Structure 1
Amino acid sequence: MFPLIQRCCFNTLFKLQQLPGASVLLRGRNRTACSSLALLRLQRHARPLSTSLSLKPASLYTAQLRPFHTSLPVSKKKTSAESEAQSQEGPGSLKDCPKPALYLSLGGLVPFVAVPLAMATQGTYCPELAFAQVAYAAATASFLGGMRWGFALPENSPAKPDWLNLANGTVPALLACQALLFKDVTQGALMLTVALGIALHYDISLLPTYPRWFKVLRVVGTVVMVSSLLATVALKSFLEGEQRDDRKIQQNIN
């Protein structure tokens, strides 16, 4: 804009200096005689000059340059609510889990899978191993219920430490204690299946602010634990039946 105005002023002065009337005025010769003639010539030459040197081209230049004006993008930090919303909307899988959480969770599933696998490999039912699996499942259900307390107690937590959240955290522990009181392993395993299912329902439905990868991990872990308990119950009924038949055969032989 400034170079355009400077060029226009320079052209105007240059043309005024070339005019004969302007030269007469500048030199100061015959001012009275040539004043009217100089004014007429100035008006004659200044009119087209003023029209040609109007500010219209400047407005055109600004109109052409206006679309190219862009403001710098302002970088804004993502709030915790936006990050939580994106974590919930994004697809979750076991690949998105942090390595410590993934490896520790998979390591915690080893005792569940090892008990029915060992009994199926040996072909005999071992009540000690079955009870150890039930006791470990009771401890796991109690841990999952206590995790709800740890989520609700912090001040900045979206879950309030009210009666509902804290009471739901104690339900899996109470069911686990009841499962240990049963003398039959089958009844205890079924009770623990209910406790693990309730804990999963709490973590997925009642606490939607958990990350998506954690919900996927909870579903996979619960499926493995319940399947292992039901596999132990099935092996108990099947292997105990075979052992009874073997005993009957041995008694008949003797």
Structure 2
Amino acid sequence: MFPLIQRCYFHAHFKLQTLPVPRLLLYGKNKTTCSSLGLHRLQRDVCLLSRSSSLNPASIHAAKLQAFHTSLPFFKKKTPKESETEDSGILQRSMKSLKDSPKPALYLSLAGLIPFVSVPLSMVIQGTYYPELAFAQITYGAVTASFLGGMRWGFALPENSPAKPDWLNLANSTILPLLAWQALLFKDITHGAIMLVMTLGIALHYDLSLLPTYPRWFKVLRVVGTVVMVLSLLATVALKSFSEQQLSNSRNKWQNTK
């Protein structure tokens, strides 16, 4: 019985490869008809070949070496409209989570951003760079980063908290004050601001992905607050570089006139 099945399979496979391609394959509407015609021909050839003589062992070995053709799967690409819909959906959910946050947490977090925004805004309005205000902004940013680290420590202390008081939570909460302290040690405001930006980015990474999760509204609030703080620090650095450039240009002009 098994040799008969092998004989039928080999001849059927050979006939299937040598069958002429019908012209109907060129038309998309008649693919089903062509497939049914090829299936009837295959069944007829199998029945005729089942009555023939025994198959040569060399042919069986050649049939085993035949490679089977498999077409690659077709992956559907997202259209720009679908991606825009997904982005708008994420934005809407984020705004909804921000509105659902407790009012004291929302208002106090927004009020805590005022010292960051007021420093570069006042410099732009007056048209003058003040190193004292820039240092005050760096100091307030270091205090804020230390507060974010200490908040993690307090979150891990209660017995029913999902965050355990282990090395991961407690050690990562103490890293942020150390980085903030390092930002205050720089004599140059630019270096301190860059160090503080890195500290705020690490704190956001901790709160969003590394450590056990906070509520969704707090995550959205942390993202918004971090973006505002980073942009304010970068604006101060840009104003400092612009002021130094203007000062160097004025000195060059004064030396040339002299």
1:106-125 correspondence to structure 2 within 5 Å: 106-125=110-129
Number of aligned pairs? 166
Change (3 A) 1:252 1:109: same
Q: d(CA) in 2 for partners of 1:92 and 1:204?
A: 18
8 Å CA contact 1:200–1:222 kept in 2: the answer is yes
Name the SS of the counterpart of 1:124 in structure 2: coil
8 Å CA contact 1:112–1:133 kept in 2: the answer is yes
Q: d(CA) in 1 for partners of 2:121 and 2:254?
A: 27
8 Å CA contact 1:94–1:217 kept in 2: the answer is yes
Alpha-carbon shift at residue 239 of structure 1 (Å): 1.6
User: Which position in structure 2 is the counterpart of 1:203?
Assistant: 207
Q: d(CA) in 1 for partners of 2:237 and 2:199?
A: 16
Q: d(CA) in 2 for partners of 1:111 and 1:90?
A: 25
Determine which structure has more spread, i.e. the larger CA radius of gyration.
1
User: Which position in structure 2 is the counterpart of 1:169?
Assistant: 173
8 Å CA contact 1:112–1:229 kept in 2: the answer is yes
User: Which position in structure 2 is the counterpart of 1:103?
Assistant: 107
Identical-residue share of aligned pairs (%): 75
1:206-245 correspondence to structure 2 within 5 Å: 206-245=210-249
Alpha-carbon shift at residue 241 of structure 1 (Å): 0.8
Structure 2: unaligned runs, 5 residues or longer: 1-92
Alpha-carbon shift at residue 189 of structure 1 (Å): 0.5
Give the TM-score of the pair, scaled to structure 2. Answer: 0.61
Structure 1: unaligned runs, 5 residues or longer: 1-88
Give the TM-score of the pair, scaled to structure 1. Answer: 0.62
Matched, 1:131 2:141: no
8 Å CA contact 1:123–1:239 kept in 2: the answer is no
Alpha-carbon shift at residue 163 of structure 1 (Å): 0.8
Name the SS of the counterpart of 2:253 in structure 1: helix
Give me the CA root mean square deviation.
Answer: 1.8
Alpha-carbon shift at residue 121 of structure 1 (Å): 1.5
Name the SS of the counterpart of 1:93 in structure 2: helix
Alpha-carbon shift at residue 124 of structure 1 (Å): 1.5
Alpha-carbon shift at residue 248 of structure 1 (Å): 3.4
Name the SS of the counterpart of 1:227 in structure 2: helix
